Amino acid sequence: MSDPFPHRHLLGIAALSASEIRFILDQAEQWIEFNRRTRKIDERLKGLTQFNVFFENSTRTLFSFEVAGKRLGATVANFHAAGSSVHKGETLIDTALTLDAMRPDVLVIRHSSTGAAAEVAAAVDCAVINAGDGTGEHPTQALLDALTIRRRLGRIEGLKVVICGDIRHSRVARSNLLSLPLLGAELRVAGPPALLPGWEALGGVPAFDDFDEAIEGADVVMMLRIQRERMEAALSASLDDFHARYGLTRERLARAAPDALVMHPGPMNRGVEIDGELADDRSRSAILDQVEIGVAVRMACLDILTHGRRTE
Ligand code: CP
């Protein structure tokens, strides 16, 4: 039988086929049920070492990778760039080689530079998972988004998905723009022209600067964080203006399909890209489902990528 996931690393959705994505999602299903138990102990990664190497801040991704590894029995250690020798001038690759010399089996990396995870993967002996590289990709976010949609709406194929916000700078958007069409969804993006990439980068996905038009009939409305640090440079508008044109409100959601699902990768700016009251309505909002499913997806990724090492 052929290997359902013949990859050493998980660097981006771009390298995956639809069947490989579905394989990860199917594997993750078991961990959702497992994580709802009181006792969450599985020892399949016992004896293996996982390093979480974060050069950028994170709540969801870092913590869920840590919980995922520990629930599978791995020894997990976290490297935070703040307080490390990076501040003495040590390069990314020297840092990666130093950590690799401590013999981890898997290294999960987040870095502000696009392509950083691939550079590290080429230099080290262990499996590498990209936990977000600059404006490149955030593959485990796209995988957890896909599984959240599949579980909440029963399918992905044929659904209309609109992604709204800072598409140009978002690695979440980039990974979802690759994964969701592969799984049969029909995508649209919306945002201010200054925050929309060109047609080529969108892979032919239609782009709208009018969110009211883009959201019409959508089954899934995925809002992105407005990156305040980039907002001033890219837009002349204020956050209030942004909310008026691109914020998700109940009134605007009424244009979408009757039971349209609301998603956001977090962290969210309440009252800017999404109304807090809508974000908190669990009958419409899947934001906390995304967090829960994120742990399961990361368990599946760790399990799949370390399978070869465990059978050596
Ligand atoms: N969605 C996401 O990547 O969140 P964190 O930055 O908190 O990890």
How deeply is 298 buried, as exposed, middle or buried, from its count of CB atoms within 10 A (0-12, 13-18, 19+)?
buried
Region 249-269: mean pLDDT is 97
Which pLDDT band holds residue 67 (cuts at 50, 70, 90)?
very high
Torsion angle (degrees, nearest 10) of CA 178, 14, 155, 282: -70
Residue 309's pLDDT is 77
Ligand 1 interacting residues, C-beta cut-off 6 A: 58-61, 132, 141, 265-267
Which pLDDT band holds residue 94 (cuts at 50, 70, 90)?
very high
Q: What angle do CA 80, 82, 85 make, to 5 degrees?
A: 90
C-alpha dihedral sign at 140, 142, 144, 147: negative
Residue 188's pLDDT is 98
> Which of 182 and 226 is assigned the larger pLDDT?
182
SS3 call for 88: helix
Question: What six digits make up the tokens of 210?
Answer: 């009018």
Is the pLDDT at 54 greater than 90, yes or no?
Answer: yes
Pocket test for ligand 1, best of 52, 56, 61 (most atoms within 8 A of CB): 61
Residue 132's pLDDT is 98
Task: Tell me, in angstroms, the distance from the centre of ligand 1 to residue 261's CA.
Answer: 20
Give the C-alpha separation, 70 to 65, whole Å.
9
Task: Tell me, in angstroms, the distance from the centre of ligand 1 to residue 25's CA.
Answer: 19
Task: Tell me, in angstroms, the distance from the centre of ligand 1 to residue 61's CA.
Answer: 5
Residue found under tokens 């194929």: 157
Q: Give the ligand 1 atom nearest the CA of 61.
A: 8
Give the C-alpha separation, 58 to 267, whole Å.
9
Task: Tell me, in angstroms, the distance from the centre of ligand 1 to residue 312's CA.
Answer: 33
Helix (H), strand (E) counts: the chain: 12, 9
User: Would you tell me how many other CB atoms lie within 10 Å of the CB of residue 236?
Assistant: 8
Task: Tell me, in angstroms, the distance from the centre of ligand 1 to residue 162's CA.
Answer: 20
Strand-pairing partners, residue 52, are 78, 108
Task: Tell me, in angstroms, the distance from the centre of ligand 1 to residue 268's CA.
Answer: 10
Q: Give the ligand 1 atom nearest the CA of 266.
A: 1
Region 49-70: mean pLDDT is 97
Is the pLDDT at 230 greater than 70, yes or no?
Answer: no
Nearest to 178 by CA among 161, 190, 154: 161
User: Would you tell me how many other CB atoms lie within 10 Å of the CB of residue 270?
Assistant: 13
Which pLDDT band holds residue 2 (cuts at 50, 70, 90)?
confident
Strand-pairing partners, residue 27, are none
User: Rounded mean pLDDT of the chain?
Assistant: 95
Q: Give the ligand 1 atom nearest the CA of 265.
A: 1
Q: What are phi and psi of 281, to 5 degrees?
A: -85, 100
Residue 199's pLDDT is 72
Contacts of 133 (CB under 8 A, 6+ apart): 109, 110, 111, 113, 114, 115, 116, 117, 118, 171
Which pLDDT band holds residue 226 (cuts at 50, 70, 90)?
confident
